[in-house]
């Protein structure tokens, strides 16, 4: 992916993700979890819990938060910050929905590769 | 008479609807003599208020009352009316439009053709008696069909569909609404408000079927019934399809104007041809379509100004929705989706059926959904539109402009809302009214209430509710010893939630959250799995399992491992296998590179380290060899361990292996509050370790000793005797009935030994000792098994389901560039 102007990548239809659920997108550097909330808002985060690497895409989605399936840390989907007593951050990626299609910002993915 | 000013030219308008009607009003006000107007309309009449078709349908208004422009109005403004003439062609080169009855030349052309209802392409869609809901003809067809005693089906539970349903129901027809999504009006309402709306409609006798996909419309020449994908059939004398609309763009497309989903226009309502304008539902502006009149009226103003030679620009504004069904109070405005930096304020009053939710971002109100009490809707809407800074009154915002002192959510509201006949004590069948009567007769302590009514005197699970009824009746003076709440989303304990679900007949997660005053909009990872379990246990036939409210293992039908892979454990009935099964397991292990194959402590084989995307394939392979999911992941039946028993063992008294297999085949697939494990030993030497299981059977010469409530995990505890029976059949009935008692009464995540410690073994024994009660429990267990005893592996391994287990997209190549 170039760092060009039109860097939004179509990764699928909103309907492909269950409401209050998630699916993953594979990248060369690991998986990105794409979440859909009960109100059809979409978020993208690294699919790796900073605690012990749990796949966040498999957690229960409630409001705009997800509970990690392995040891129940809770993360804000908006900021990637762990909530409550736990400390840790998950990287987030720009993602948007247009005409029912989910678009992920390829520039940010590319930057992650470079980093 | 004023002398006529010279006319500027011919203005032809296609479509006499809401948008063009308003545009002409403005145009005749600002430039009365600028144009010779010719108005085509496919409908054989002029402009009427389309919104008001619903009151016409329900009988609250007549067609004459909703006409906006009558013949006199058109004559006064010199409009050449060509009603009943659909325009079929635009000749842009010569600037002429044609209907079947001739042409009309234009200098400027306005396309205002509105939209066309979407027809779902199912068999039977063309039968007589299938209508849409768009114009007076549709309305009259529904009025004619909606006689008392007639049946009607409305496909689509959005704004239009529900107005059609309510209108026909008001005329006495029995109406069913079929809606594809999980709740009504999902584009305007969140699940809680959708639940309240459904309840209101059901109270009017309208049947609502959510998650309903129409498969076919049945009938020979005229509709007779509607068939759904799930096999349900609803009889129907009339079917109204209200599943959505599509901009009516056909003549524009044929004329090679730029058209995407709608006719493309700029902010002056001009199409790609400078001489042609468009407005209304047929247009697309900056990627947006329009389906409500408010923005169309703005377009009308802009286009009238443009045609009068003035400068104006269209800017879409926020819209608010109300449903025009008399007696239904519903309002939604703005953007109420959750999103980055957004916060919710939720207010629920279960007693009045009120739900309000505000969505706030920073200091601004973004959206509002309200049900039951919409008096403040306009006030919220203006704050949304104006972007008012709400930081000063944020804490009290939800109480509206008339806010006086602010009321705290009332912890007793859910119990207060229960009707007197609601059952509080399940063991002794005591209703709320009876408890109140006893208190009013002087029973002011819990013991006195117990003595007089028997409420809370058996298993004690309803004690919290009885105390709340006392607090409500006695007022301030009475203190409750509330159990800890389920989680931070509610003040109710598990026991209260279970009892209130039954007492209130609550059958969905949004219903529970609304009626019990949940403090959050969508719950959390603690309450959602518990609610999902309680609902499926109490209403096996009505409730639909919510997969997204399950922990990963149950959602994916496999145990997640520390590295994100899964373990796969097929059932091995009673611990017995065959060479063919072992071969199939070995082949699967080879084929999917399973890093470890292990014999479990539960007498079966675990394939550890399987990748998620391989799960459906490995399941299909194991299914093909006759194996099903072992539910090694579930709050449900795990294993039934057996010993070899009388068939082989020199000490065996009964066929313990055979009974274990029969038990496992009876019980598998059932969901329980926590996992359930059984053991069946053939003699008191107890080689199957039956006496440290949730349920243990020890065979003796004279029959079967059944004991319960053992543990061998974090606690180790021997089972306690439940009863002794003579035959296998009795043993199976007792055990299934006991599991059903546990399913109906325990709190989520309590193993059997914890639950028995709480309610007391004596209470359990008494329940089981009554043969009629035992049989009723057993029968209820079998009903639930009809729904839940199916192999989840087979379901998810089906070809059309497999895609869901793989990644949504693979960008490994893109990102590597
Ligand atoms: C596979 C197995 C170990 C083995 O290799 O033998 C096993 C593996 C796990 N056990 Fe177990 N238990 C296994 C037999 C047992 C037994 C022995 C038995 O069933 O006879 C016990 C003690 C008996 C009992 O349940 O009381 C047992 C008591 C537990 C406990 C403690 C339960 C308790 O209430 O105290 C947990 C934790 C829990 O459930 O919260 C647990 C939880 C687990 C979990 C599910 C941990 C987890 O949440 O991820 C392990 C999953 C591993 C995996 O991915 O498959 N496992 N576990 C056994 C599977 C049996 C089967 O065929 O289904
Ligand atoms: C039952 C009902 C209830 C509604 N309730 C509400 C509500 O409560 N609130 C709200 O905001 N909106 C409501 N709406 C939506 C609202 O009515 C529409 O947004 C509005 O009518 C659209 O205006 P329009 O001028 O674009 O199209 P229309 O009003 O549909 O007018 C288009 C006209 O063009 C004619 N036409 C089409 N093709 C041709 C052709 N080729 N030649 C000649 N004529 C043609 C059609 O016959 C039609 O008369 C409701 C709609 C319906 C059907
Ligand atoms: S329980 Fe007793 S009879 Fe049964 S297998 Fe074990 S030793 Fe044999
Ligand atoms: S790995 Fe996510 S909480 Fe432990």
pLDDT tens, residue by residue, B3-49: 444 567 999 999 999 999 999 999 999 999 899 999 999 999 999 99
Q: What is the pLDDT of residue B386?
A: 83
Decide whether any atom of ligand 2 lies within 6 Å of the B659 Cβ: no
Alpha helices (runs of H) in B594-674, residue ranges in sequence order: 615-624, 656-667
User: CA-CA distances (angstroms) from residue B94 to B99, B104, B454?
Assistant: 15, 11, 90
CA–CA min distance B187, chain A (Å): 9
Tell me how far the alpha carbon of residue B563 is from its chain's centroid: 34
**Which strand (E) or helix (H) includes residue B793?**
helix B792-797
CA–CA min distance B701, chain A (Å): 47
Within this chain, do residues B84 and B151 fall inside the same structural domain, yes or no?
Answer: no
Ligand 3 binding pocket, CB closer than 6 Å: B 643-645, 649, 651-652, 656, 681-683, 685-687
Instruction: Give CA–CA dist B121/B324, Å, rounded.
Output: 29
**In this complex, do A1 and B340 lie within 8 Å of one another by their Cβ atoms?**
no
Phi–psi pair at B260, nearest 5 degrees: -110, -105
> B357, A39 in Cβ contact below 8 A?
no
Decide whether any atom of ligand 1 lies within 6 Å of the B601 Cβ: yes
**Which strand (E) or helix (H) includes residue A46?**
strand A42-46
Within this chain, do residues B644 and B784 fall inside the same structural domain, yes or no?
Answer: yes
Q: Is the pLDDT score of B408 beyond 70? A: no
Q: Collect all residues of chain A within an 8 Å Cβ-Cβ radius of residue B560.
A: 55, 58, 69-70
Nearest by Cα to B12 from B62, B81, B115: B81
Residue B120 CB coordination number (10 Å): 14
Within this chain, do residues B71 and B203 fall inside the same structural domain, yes or no?
Answer: no
DSSP string, B409-428: PPTTHHHHHS-TT-EEETTT
Does domain A8-114 bear CATH number 1.20.1560.10? no
For chain B, what is the domain count?
Answer: 4
Tracing tokens 């929705």 back to the chain, one arrives at B321
Nearest chain B residue to A52 by CA distance is B562
pLDDT digits (tens, 9 = 90+) for B120-141: 999 999 999 999 999 999 999 9
Q: What is the pLDDT of residue A39?
A: 82
pLDDT digits (tens, 9 = 90+) for B711-760: 999 889 999 999 999 999 999 999 999 999 999 999 999 999 999 998 99
Predicted confidence band of residue B403 (pLDDT cuts 50, 70, 90): low
Nearest chain B residue to A107 by CA distance is B815
> B208, B198 in Cβ contact below 8 A?
yes
Within this chain, do residues B135 and B104 fall inside the same structural domain, yes or no?
Answer: no
DSSP letter at B373 equals: -
User: CA-CA distances (angstroms) from residue B142 to B172, B174, B176, B572?
Assistant: 12, 13, 14, 58
Residue B102, domain CATH: 3.50.50.60
Q: Collect all residues of chain B within an 8 Å Cβ-Cβ radius of residue A85.
A: none
Distance B663 CA to ligand 3 centre (A): 18
Phi–psi pair at A62, nearest 5 degrees: -135, 125
User: Chain B interface residues facing chain A, Cβ-Cβ under 8 Å?
Assistant: 182, 190-191, 287, 336-342, 344, 520-525, 528-529, 547-552, 555-556, 560, 562-564, 807-817
Who among B338, B560, B811 is closest to A9 (CB)?
B811
Angle at B411 between CA B407 and CA B413, to 5 degrees: 80
Nearest by Cα to B27 from B15, B14, B11, B43: B11
Beta bridge pairs of residue B452: none
**In this complex, do B811 and A26 lie within 8 Å of one another by their Cβ atoms?**
yes
Three-state SS string over B6-56 comes to CCCEEEEEECCCHHHHHHHHHHHHHCCCCEEEEEEECCCCCCECHHHHHHH
Beta bridge pairs of residue B518: none
What's chain B's average pLDDT?
91
Question: Which pair of structure tokens corresponds to residue B182?
Answer: 């999980």
Pairing between β-strand B108-111 and β-strand B276-278 as defined by DSSP bridges: parallel
Residue A14 touches chain B, beta carbons under 8 Å: no
Instruction: Give CA–CA dist B642/B688, Å, rounded.
Output: 5
Domain boundary among B517, B550, B583: B550
Within this chain, do residues B143 and B230 fall inside the same structural domain, yes or no?
Answer: yes
Within this chain, do residues B104 and B125 fall inside the same structural domain, yes or no?
Answer: no
Nearest by Cα to B710 from B753, B739, B765: B753
Ligand 4 binding pocket, CB closer than 6 Å: A 49, 51-54, 68, 70-73
Q: What is the pLDDT of residue A115?
A: 43
**Which strand (E) or helix (H) includes residue B766?**
helix B761-769
Residue A34 touches chain B, beta carbons under 8 Å: yes
Distance B579 CA to ligand 3 centre (A): 24
Question: Could you tell me if residue B546 is inside a domain?
Answer: yes
Q: What is the pLDDT of residue B815?
A: 46
Angle at B394 between CA B389 and CA B399, to 5 degrees: 120
Instruction: Give CA–CA dist B86/B113, Å, rounded.
Output: 10
Residue B633 CB coordination number (10 Å): 25
Within this chain, do residues B161 and B225 fall inside the same structural domain, yes or no?
Answer: yes
**In this complex, do B560 and A52 lie within 8 Å of one another by their Cβ atoms?**
no
Alpha helices (runs of H) in B242-292, residue ranges in sequence order: 250-254
Instruction: Give CA–CA dist A30/B12, Å, rounded.
Output: 60
Predicted confidence band of residue B340 (pLDDT cuts 50, 70, 90): low
pLDDT digits (tens, 9 = 90+) for B483-492: 789 998 998 9
Tracing tokens 């029995």 back to the chain, one arrives at B174
DSSP letter at A100 equals: T
**Which strand (E) or helix (H) includes residue B619?**
helix B615-624
Question: Could you tell me if residue B525 is inside a domain?
Answer: yes
Within this chain, do residues B664 and B780 fall inside the same structural domain, yes or no?
Answer: yes
ipTM of the complex: 0.75
pLDDT digits (tens, 9 = 90+) for B40-94: 999 999 999 999 999 999 999 999 999 999 999 999 999 999 999 999 999 999 9
**In this complex, do A59 and B552 lie within 8 Å of one another by their Cβ atoms?**
yes
User: Which regions of chain A are under pLDDT 70?
Assistant: 1-6, 110-115
Distance B811 CA to ligand 4 centre (A): 25
**Which strand (E) or helix (H) includes residue B307?**
helix B293-307
Q: Per-residue pLDDT averaged across B339-348, rounded?
A: 79
Instruction: Give CA–CA dist B333/B383, Å, rounded.
Output: 11
Q: What is the pLDDT of residue B124?
A: 95
Count, residues in chain A: 115
Predicted confidence band of residue B339 (pLDDT cuts 50, 70, 90): low
Distance B715 CA to ligand 1 centre (A): 13
CA–CA min distance B180, chain A (Å): 13
Question: Could you tell me if residue B538 is inside a domain?
Answer: yes
Predicted confidence band of residue B402 (pLDDT cuts 50, 70, 90): low
Q: Longest C-alpha distance within chain B, in Å?
A: 122
Residue A87 touches chain B, beta carbons under 8 Å: no
Beta bridge pairs of residue B815: none
Predicted confidence band of residue B1 (pLDDT cuts 50, 70, 90): very low
**In this complex, do A38 and B522 lie within 8 Å of one another by their Cβ atoms?**
yes
Question: Could you tell me if residue B645 is inside a domain?
Answer: yes
Distance B735 CA to ligand 3 centre (A): 21
Instruction: Give CA–CA dist A110/A39, Å, rounded.
Output: 29
Evaluate the CA torsion angle B506, B512, B514, B516 in order and state its sign.
positive
Pairing between β-strand B605-610 and β-strand B151-155 as defined by DSSP bridges: unpaired
Residue B702 CB coordination number (10 Å): 11
Q: Collect all residues of chain A within an 8 Å Cβ-Cβ radius of residue B817.
A: 1-2, 110
Judged by DSSP in three states, B206 sits in coil
Decide whether any atom of ligand 2 lies within 6 Å of the B132 Cβ: no
Q: What is the domain partition of chain A in residue ranges?
A: 8-114
Instruction: Give CA–CA dist B100/B83, Å, rounded.
Output: 12
Distance B606 CA to ligand 3 centre (A): 25
Q: Collect all residues of chain B within an 8 Å Cβ-Cβ radius of residue A93.
A: none
Instruction: Give CA–CA dist B533/B529, Å, rounded.
Output: 6
> B623, B794 in Cβ contact below 8 A?
yes
> B48, B136 in Cβ contact below 8 A?
yes
Within this chain, do residues B72 and B32 fall inside the same structural domain, yes or no?
Answer: yes
Residue B650, domain CATH: 3.30.413.10
Instruction: Give CA–CA dist B554/B675, Å, rounded.
Output: 12
Within this chain, do residues B109 and B210 fall inside the same structural domain, yes or no?
Answer: no
Question: Could you tell me if residue B46 is inside a domain?
Answer: yes
Angle at B40 between CA B37 and CA B46, to 5 degrees: 95
Who among B549, B560, B815 is closest to A27 (CB)?
B815
Q: pLDDT > 90: what percent of chain B?
A: 72
Within this chain, do residues B65 and B124 fall inside the same structural domain, yes or no?
Answer: no
**In this complex, do A70 and B528 lie within 8 Å of one another by their Cβ atoms?**
no
Beta bridge pairs of residue B90: B97
pLDDT digits (tens, 9 = 90+) for B284-325: 999 889 988 889 999 999 999 999 999 999 998 878 888 888
Pairing between β-strand B35-41 and β-strand B342-349 as defined by DSSP bridges: unpaired
Predicted confidence band of residue B796 (pLDDT cuts 50, 70, 90): very high
Phi–psi pair at B284, nearest 5 degrees: -125, 125
Pairing between β-strand B320-322 and β-strand B330-334 as defined by DSSP bridges: antiparallel
Domain boundary among B307, B323, B340: B307
Tracing tokens 């207060």 back to the chain, one arrives at B416
Closest atom of ligand 1 relative to the B710 alpha carbon:
26
User: CA-CA distances (angstroms) from residue B55 to B9, B44, B163, B206?
Assistant: 39, 21, 9, 18
Helix axes B293-307, B18-30, angle to 10 degrees: 40
**In this complex, do B814 and A25 lie within 8 Å of one another by their Cβ atoms?**
no
Closest atom of ligand 1 relative to the B711 alpha carbon:
26
Domain boundary among B243, B258, B274: B243
Q: Is the pLDDT score of B517 beyond 70? A: yes
Distance B632 CA to ligand 1 centre (A): 8
Nearest by Cα to B92 from B315, B307, B275, B329: B275
> A80, A91 in Cβ contact below 8 A?
yes
Instruction: Give CA–CA dist B594/B588, Å, rounded.
Output: 8
Domain assignment of residue B773, given as a range? 636-790
Decide whether any atom of ligand 1 lies within 6 Å of the B559 Cβ: yes
| Cβ-Cβ contacts under 8 Å for B74 (sequence gap 6 or more) | B39, B46, B81
CA–CA min distance A10, chain B (Å): 9
The residue to mutate among A59, A66, A71, A80, having the most atoms of ligand 4 within 8 angstroms of its beta carbon, is A71
Q: Collect all residues of chain B within an 8 Å Cβ-Cβ radius of residue A98.
A: 287
Within this chain, do residues B651 and B769 fall inside the same structural domain, yes or no?
Answer: yes
Nearest chain B residue to A67 by CA distance is B525
Question: Could you tell me if residue B236 is inside a domain?
Answer: yes
């Amino acid at each position: 992916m170039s760092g060009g102007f039109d860097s939004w990548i179509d990764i699928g239809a909103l309907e492909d993700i269950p409401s209050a659920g998630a699916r993953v997108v594979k990248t060369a550097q690991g998986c990105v979890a794409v979440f859909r909330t009960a109100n059809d808002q979409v978020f993208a985060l690294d699919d790796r819990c900073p605690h012990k690497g749990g796949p966040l895409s498999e957690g229960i989605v409630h409001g705009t938060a997800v509970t990690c399936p392995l040891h129940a840390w809770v993360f804000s989907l908006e900021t990637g910050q762990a909530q409550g007593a736990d400390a840790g951050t998950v990287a987030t990626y720009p993602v948007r929905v247009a005409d029912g299609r989910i678009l992920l910002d390829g520039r940010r993915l590319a930057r992650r590769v470079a980093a | 008479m004023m002398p006529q000013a010279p006319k500027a030219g011919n203005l032809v308008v296609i479509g006499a609807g809401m948008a063009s009607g308003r545009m002409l009003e403005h145009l005749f006000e600002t430039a009365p003599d600028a144009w010779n107007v010719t108005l085509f309309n496919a409908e054989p009449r002029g402009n009427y208020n389309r919104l008001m078709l619903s009151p016409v349908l329900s009988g609250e208004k007549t067609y004459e009352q909703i006409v906006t422009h009558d013949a006199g109005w058109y004559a006064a403004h010199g409009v050449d009316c060509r009603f009943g003439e659909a325009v079929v062609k635009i000749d842009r080169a010569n600037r002429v439009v044609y209907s079947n009855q001739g042409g009309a030349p234009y200098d400027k052309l306005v396309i205002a053709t509105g939209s066309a209802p979407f027809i779902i392409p199912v068999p039977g869609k063309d039968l007589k008696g299938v209508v849409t809901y768009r114009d007076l003809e549709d309305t009259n067809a529904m009025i004619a069909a909606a006689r008392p005693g007639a049946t009607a089906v409305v496909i689509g539970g959005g704004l239009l569909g529900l107005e059609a349903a309510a209108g026909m129901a008001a005329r006495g027809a029995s109406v069913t609404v079929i809606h594809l999504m999980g709740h009504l009006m999902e584009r305007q309402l969140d699940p809680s408000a959708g639940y309240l709306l459904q309840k209101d409609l059901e109270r009017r006798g309208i049947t609502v079927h959510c998650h309903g996909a129409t498969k076919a419309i049945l009938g020979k020449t005229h509709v007779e019934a509607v068939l759904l994908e799930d096999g349900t059939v609803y009889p129907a004398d009339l079917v109204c399809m209200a599943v959505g609309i599509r901009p009516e763009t056909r003549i524009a497309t044929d004329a090679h104007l730029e058209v995407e989903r709608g006719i493309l226009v700029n902010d002056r309502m001009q199409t790609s041809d400078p001489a042609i304008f468009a407005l209304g539902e047929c247009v697309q502006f900056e990627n947006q379509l329009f389906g409500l009149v408010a923005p169309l009226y703005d377009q009308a103003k802009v286009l009238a100004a443009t045609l009068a030679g003035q400068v104006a620009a269209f800017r879409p504004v926020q819209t608010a929705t109300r449903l025009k069904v008399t007696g239904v109070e519903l309002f939604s405005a703005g953007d109420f989706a959750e999103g980055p930096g957004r916060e919710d304020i939720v207010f629920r009053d279960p007693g009045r059926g009120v739900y309000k939710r505000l969505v706030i971002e920073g200091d601004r109100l973004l959206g509002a959904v309200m049900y039951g009490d919409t008096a403040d809707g306009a006030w919220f809407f203006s704050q949304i539109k104006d972007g008012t800074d709400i930081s000063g009154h944020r804490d009290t915002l939800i109480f509206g402009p008339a806010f006086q002192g602010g009321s705290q959510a009332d912890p007793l509201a859910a119990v207060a809302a229960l009707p007197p006949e609601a059952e509080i004590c399940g063991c002794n069948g005591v209703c709320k009214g009876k408890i109140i009567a006893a208190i009013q007769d002087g029973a002011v302590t819990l013991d006195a209430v117990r003595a007089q009514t028997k409420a809370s005197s058996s298993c004690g699970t309803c004690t919290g509710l009885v105390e709340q009824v006392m607090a409500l009746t006695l007022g301030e003076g009475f203190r409750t010893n509330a159990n800890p709440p389920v989680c931070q989303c509610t003040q109710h304990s598990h026991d209260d939630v279970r009892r209130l679900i039954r007492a209130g007949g609550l059958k969905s997660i949004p219903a529970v959250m609304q009626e019990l005053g949940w403090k959050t909009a969508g719950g959390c990872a603690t309450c959602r799995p518990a609610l999902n379990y309680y609902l499926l246990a109490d209403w096996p036939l009505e409730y639909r399992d919510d997969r997204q409210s399950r922990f990963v293992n149950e959602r994916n039908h496999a145990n997640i491992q520390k590295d994100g892979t899964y373990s796969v454990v097929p059932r091995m009935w009673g611990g017995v296998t065959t060479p063919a099964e072992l071969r199939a397991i070995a082949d699967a292990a080879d084929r999917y590179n399973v890093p470890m194959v292990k014999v479990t402590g539960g007498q079966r084989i675990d394939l550890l380290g399987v990748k998620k995307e391989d799960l459906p394939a490995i399941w299909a392979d194991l299914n093909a060899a006759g194996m099903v999911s072992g539910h090694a992941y579930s709050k449900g039946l795990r294993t039934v361990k057996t010993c070899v028993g009388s068939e082989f063992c020199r000490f065996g008294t009964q066929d313990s292996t055979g009974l274990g297999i029969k038990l496992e085949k009876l019980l598998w697939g059932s969901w329980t509050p926590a996992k359930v494990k059984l053991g069946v030993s053939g003699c008191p030497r107890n080689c199957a370790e039956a006496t440290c299981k949730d349920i243990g059977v020890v065979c003796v010469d004279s029959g079967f000793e059944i004991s319960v409530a053992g543990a061998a995990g974090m606690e180790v505890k021997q089972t306690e005797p439940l009863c002794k029976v003579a035959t296998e059949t009795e043993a199976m009935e007792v055990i299934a009935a006991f599991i059903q008692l546990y399913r109906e009464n325990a709190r989520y995540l309590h193993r059997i030994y914890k639950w028995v410690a709480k309610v007391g073994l004596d209470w359990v024994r008494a329940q089981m000792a009554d043969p009629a009660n035992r049989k009723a429990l057993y029968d209820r267990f079998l009903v639930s098994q009809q729904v839940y005893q199916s192999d989840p592996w087979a379901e998810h391994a089906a070809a059309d389901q497999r895609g869901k287990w793989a990644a949504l997209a693979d960008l490994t190549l893109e990102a590597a560039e």
